[in-house]
Amino acid sequence: MSRLFLGLDSSTQSLSAVIIDLDSGKVVAEEGINFAEDLPQYGTDHGVLTNDDPRVAHAPPLMWAEALDLLFARLRDADAPLGDVLAVSGSGQQHGSVYLNATIPAKLENLNPSRTLVENLAGAFSRATSPIWMDSSTTEECQEIMDAMGGATAVAEATGSVAFERFTGPQIRKFFKTDATGYADTAHIALVSSFMASIMGAGLAPIDHGDGAGMNMMDITAREWSDEALDATAPGLAAKLLGPVPSWTITGAVSSYFVKKYGLSATALNVVWSGDNPNSLIGLGLIEPGYVAISLGTSDTFFGTMQACRVDPRGEGHVFVSPTGDYMSLICFKNGSLARERVRDAYGLDWPAFVAAGFDRPVGNNGAVLLPYFEPEIVPKVLEPGVRRFDLDETDVPDNCRAVVEAQMLSMRLHSRWMQVAPTRIYATGGASKNPLILRIMTDVHQCPVYGLKVANSAALGASLRAAHAYLTHTSDTPPLWHDIVDPFVQLDASKVVRPDRNTAKVYDNLLEKYAACEREVAG
């Protein structure tokens, strides 16, 4: 008898599903809905509504609900074993918020399977659109919250992050300030994660600790709403929130809507959803302190598990709660592949030529430093874009190829120091994790083995693993071990590990000092 678990991922551009078989360690079904392609009637550009103000980024919550119907229909039509699923959980793009009026509990309890979710939920919203993580229109509200709470550091110490434009608290404050009536009509504020979990479970689902930490509203050590933060955000807020609860909380059985319409079992359990980053942490197997993932995408992110709660004194990184109950850190560097591609293109190279050029230069590049701020940078905060070179000639092609990668890796090492967790293994993921120059410099700068990990859809996988963990916690006498659940799904290819050359350690220790000085000169 195989034990099956369903994980869903409601991300910016798509909704996807994986069903895992815990006993064989295999994914047995996968489906996805692309919002822009499959639901063009919502008029989004890659899942986001266009707006005249480039800082505003919203999405229609009914689109996410409709995608859930489409996704389950596809799973059913593909004969996915929905009826054998024991528990369901999910992942939501972090920070985005959904505003619901007082009709929502009754609507959720009485979802009619002969109608669509859109028809069932119509009229339940006190705000037609949801601000999402790409929104950066709340600088004023961030400042007001930080002023009310005694400054940026006070907010970071209380909630795990300084006030960030995309975080939910500043977004709620903006809604309260610009639409007081809409705010007053709002009986319940959900995150993307808890909104979707509410539909799956036929009743308002609480926010979990992992996603709650991305709101600037949760006391990061007590793991409760911070009264001070709520007061600084908007009046009467506590009554509009549910949770926060541990990520393994079960809300009950799944809604009969999904049982009757799509064939889920009536006894399948609904587990609270979490944010995409906490879910990916599990999907990548980052369950031990010292395990770090570097995701190399348009932007690069650096995230990992921490046992103690340490907050970045510079306010650049975030602390969330890991689904294991530990803490997790996340640092986002905007000029990732974006910068590597700009350098490559500036010299008319393809990737093999870029790699060969970089390998042509010695470790440490004779002290050359390139600060690759092609776009405004998040970490370190650089508002005015611009590339800066130190002891580096712009016309020297190989030096520039090596310098951009060394700078990025040194920046990660420098800006993750506050975690006080020396990486013991790094999982490189994302498009650029195949690039041998990047992997070599990554392992040497961090003096840590690097594993190239090919996990597609780590957030949905993480959600299915969380569903399994919650189910086992609920049904067995002995608590399940995370390793037993996660390890079969995160297979490391030991033959592909890249190990550091210990002789390079001193070179990079020295270059780090120089890099930090250059950065101070530019970023202050």
Binding mask 440-479 for ligand XUL (x = CB under 6 A): ----------------------------------------
| Rg (alpha carbons) of the chain, rounded to whole number | 23
Pairing of strands 327-333, 369-373: unpaired
Indicate the residue among 378 and 523 with the shorter CB distance to ligand XUL.
Answer: 378
Question: How many residues form the binding site for ligand XUL (CB under 6 A)?
Answer: 11
What minimum distance in Å lies between the beta carbon of 296 and ligand XUL? 14
Kindly give, in sequence order, each residue whose CB lies less than 8 Å from that of residue 476, ignoring residues fewer than 6 positions away.
none
Indicate the residue among 131 and 372 with the shorter CB distance to ligand XUL.
Answer: 131
Indicate the residue among 132 and 363 with the shorter CB distance to ligand XUL.
Answer: 132
Please report whether residue 93 would count as binding ligand XUL according to CB under 6 A.
yes
Beta bridge partners of 454: none
What minimum distance in Å lies between the beta carbon of 192 and ligand XUL? 9
* C-alpha span between 164 and 183 (Å, rounded): 21
Select from 13-21, 109-117, 255-263, 275-283 the region that touches ligand XUL (CB under 6 A).
275-283
What minimum distance in Å lies between the beta carbon of 237 and ligand XUL? 21
What minimum distance in Å lies between the beta carbon of 11 and ligand XUL? 6
Kindly give, in sequence order, each residue whose CB lies less than 8 Å from that of residue 379, ignoring residues fewer than 6 positions away.
316, 317, 331, 332, 333, 334, 411, 415
Two tokens at 522? 């530019």
Indicate the residue among 95 and 413 with the shorter CB distance to ligand XUL.
Answer: 95
Please report whether residue 334 would count as binding ligand XUL according to CB under 6 A.
no
Please report whether residue 95 would count as binding ligand XUL according to CB under 6 A.
yes
Indicate the residue among 14 and 435 with the shorter CB distance to ligand XUL.
Answer: 14
Tokens 């610009």, residue located:
178
Please report whether residue 166 would count as binding ligand XUL according to CB under 6 A.
yes
Measured CA angle at 288 (ends 407, 425), to 5 deg: 40
DSSP annotation of 164: -
What minimum distance in Å lies between the beta carbon of 350 and ligand XUL? 29
Amino acid at 97: S
Question: Residue 265, SS3?
Answer: coil
* C-alpha span between 280 and 374 (Å, rounded): 28
DSSP annotation of 299: S
* C-alpha span between 175 and 220 (Å, rounded): 24
What minimum distance in Å lies between the beta carbon of 9 and ligand XUL? 10
What minimum distance in Å lies between the beta carbon of 133 and ligand XUL? 4
Binding ligand XUL by CB under 6 A: which of 13, 44, 94, 457?
A: 94
Binding ligand XUL by CB under 6 A: which of 14, 277, 335, 443?
A: 277
Select from 68-76, 89-97, 205-213, 222-230 the region that touches ligand XUL (CB under 6 A).
89-97
Indicate the residue among 330 and 355 with the shorter CB distance to ligand XUL.
Answer: 330
Select from 87-95, 353-361, 429-437, 516-524 the region that touches ligand XUL (CB under 6 A).
87-95
DSSP annotation of 83: G
Select from 80-88, 271-279, 396-404, 490-498 the region that touches ligand XUL (CB under 6 A).
271-279
Pairing of strands 291-296, 85-92: unpaired
Question: Residue 257, SS3?
Answer: helix
Indicate the residue among 116 and 329 with the shorter CB distance to ligand XUL.
Answer: 329
Indicate the residue among 12 and 116 with the shorter CB distance to ligand XUL.
Answer: 12
Pairing of strands 130-131, 58-59: antiparallel
Q: Which of residues 199-228 bind ligand XUL (CB under 6 A)?
A: 214
Indicate the residue among 58 and 361 with the shorter CB distance to ligand XUL.
Answer: 58
Indicate the residue among 296 and 370 with the shorter CB distance to ligand XUL.
Answer: 296
Q: Are 297 and 280 in contact (CB under 8 A)?
A: no
Indicate the residue among 212 and 358 with the shorter CB distance to ligand XUL.
Answer: 212
Burial category of 4 from C-beta neighbours within 10 Å (exposed 0-12, middle 13-18, buried 19 and up): buried
* C-alpha span between 333 and 252 (Å, rounded): 39
* C-alpha span between 363 and 360 (Å, rounded): 10
Q: Which of residues 11-30 bind ligand XUL (CB under 6 A)?
A: 11-12
DSSP string, 459-522: HHHHHHHHHHHHHHHHH-SSPPPHHHHHGGGS---GGG-B---GGGHHHHHHHHHHHHHHHHHH
Q: Which of residues 125-144 bind ligand XUL (CB under 6 A)?
A: 133
- List interacting residues with ligand XUL (CB under 6 A): 11-12, 93-95, 133, 166, 214, 275-277
